[in-house]
Amino acid sequence: MSGRFSEAHPFGNGHINDTFRIRNEVPGSPDYVLQRINTHVFPEPEKLMENMSGVISHIKHQKRYAHLVPELIETESGAFFVKTESGFWRMYRFVEGAKSFDRAENEQQVWEGGFANGSFLKALESFPIEKLYTVIPDFHNMVTRIRQFEEALETTSKERKEWAFDEIISIQKKKATWIKMFQSAVTGNIPVRVTHNDTKFNNVLLSEHSKKSCVIDLDTVMPGYTFFDIGDGLRSAVISANENESDLSLVVVNEHFYQSYIDGFIDGSDGLLTSEEKQLIPKSGGYMAFIMAVRFLTDFLKGDIYYKTHYAEHNLGRAKNQLYVSALFEGIS
């Protein structure tokens, strides 16, 4: 780390961690990104950082993929984090010449996002998966998420249950379909891989130079399945509006973007995917949108304790949005 501190200001729009851009007043010296890890969501941040530093080191040692992950900044003692009274902190070098987009603007951007996430899987093909901690058990396990939803339904207030009546019914009608898909996939021939598990489109910093994008937000890197990553990318990259949009008439699937993202992901994964993994791609977007709807509604029923919200029914609106997106993907699968 070099230079002198100039200023810091909030940066990005993530749901979980607090993120700040650190401006450097020394000409020619880099800026930095400082993050406070949400230890309510990640109660063992040391394990999270061991995962992250190991994965970054593994990728940085591959010339072909070195651009694909950010540079973690070490402390004077050689650690990659600092624990203080104000929280658990880490820092990255700011990635110059790259931008994050909440919504894709064209097919090339969509392809680049898919390519970056597919390349991330390929770059970690040889990473020893047994060295990874599972920082959030059953993160995309539909059986677990439905159980958590049903537990929240039992303990929520009468008022919140009434507000969410339609969404509760929608989840109850469709839960068996998605549980069956999950159980069929994970008990079949689908390999467990090192996956990102949070491949929202804005978690790829798109480069001005083709095929040089950077994958960020590596908190949830752990063992998983490829349909988690491609599905999360699809639900965020190819829909016309994000999960906060309450006017569902504005929420549509761009089918050209849909195919471009899939093409980019397959190209980036460079022959990694098995035929069984490819067969799950058409269902992956619907699966991930539905599981996000379940998670948003569960948080609403529990009193909004997980996701950052900006108004009383924010998580309920997000759940409604993602249920709609899931149904859209079912219509084209």
Tell me the pLDDT band of 27, cut-offs 50, 70 and 90: low
pLDDT > 60? residue 64: yes
Looking at 54-130, which runs of residues are DSSP E strands?
Answer: 82-84, 87-93, 98-99
pLDDT > 60? residue 156: yes
pLDDT > 90? residue 2: no
CA distance 295 to 289: 10
pLDDT > 60? residue 1: no
pLDDT > 70? residue 11: no
* Confidence at residue 8, expressed as pLDDT on a 0 to 100 scale: 66
CB 77 within 8 A of CB 228: no
* CATH code of the domain made up of 5-98: 3.30.200.20
* Confidence at residue 87, expressed as pLDDT on a 0 to 100 scale: 87
**Three-state DSSP state, 9:** strand
* Confidence at residue 127, expressed as pLDDT on a 0 to 100 scale: 98
- The average pLDDT across 132-161 equals 97
For residue 284, which of 306, 303, 262 has the smallest C-alpha distance?
Answer: 262
Q: What are the residue boundaries of the structural domains of the chain, listed by start? A: 5-98, 107-332
Tell me the pLDDT band of 49, cut-offs 50, 70 and 90: very high
Tokens at 173, concatenated: 């009608």
Tokens at 207, concatenated: 């480069």
* Confidence at residue 300, expressed as pLDDT on a 0 to 100 scale: 97
CB 74 within 8 A of CB 93: no
Residue 154 identity (one-letter amino acid): E
φ, ψ dihedrals at 217, nearest 5°: 60, 65
For residue 69, which of 79, 61, 78 has the smallest C-alpha distance?
Answer: 61
Q: Give residue-wise pLDDT tens across range 222-264.
A: 999 999 999 999 999 999 999 999 999 999 999 999 999 999 9
Tokens at 268, concatenated: 């980036």
Q: Answer yes or no: pTM beyond 0.85.
A: yes
- The average pLDDT across 97-121 equals 92
* Confidence at residue 137, expressed as pLDDT on a 0 to 100 scale: 94
For residue 292, which of 158, 152, 197, 186 has the smallest C-alpha distance?
Answer: 197
**Three-state DSSP state, 165:** helix
CB 42 within 8 A of CB 219: yes
* Confidence at residue 308, expressed as pLDDT on a 0 to 100 scale: 85
Give the DSSP H/E element, type plus range, for residue 53. Answer: helix 45-60
Tokens at 92, concatenated: 């990255």
- What lies within 8 Å, CB to CB, of 190 at 6+ separation is 225, 226, 227, 274, 276, 277, 280
Q: Give residue-wise pLDDT tens across range 285-314.
A: 999 999 999 999 999 999 998 888 999 999
Topology match between the domains 5-98 and 107-332: no
pLDDT > 80? residue 29: no
Q: Give residue-wise pLDDT tens across range 183-192.
A: 999 998 899 9
Mean pLDDT of the residues in the chain:
92
- The average pLDDT across 99-113 equals 91
Give strand pairing partners of 35: 19, 90
CA distance 112 to 210: 7
* CATH code of the domain made up of 107-332: 3.90.1200.10
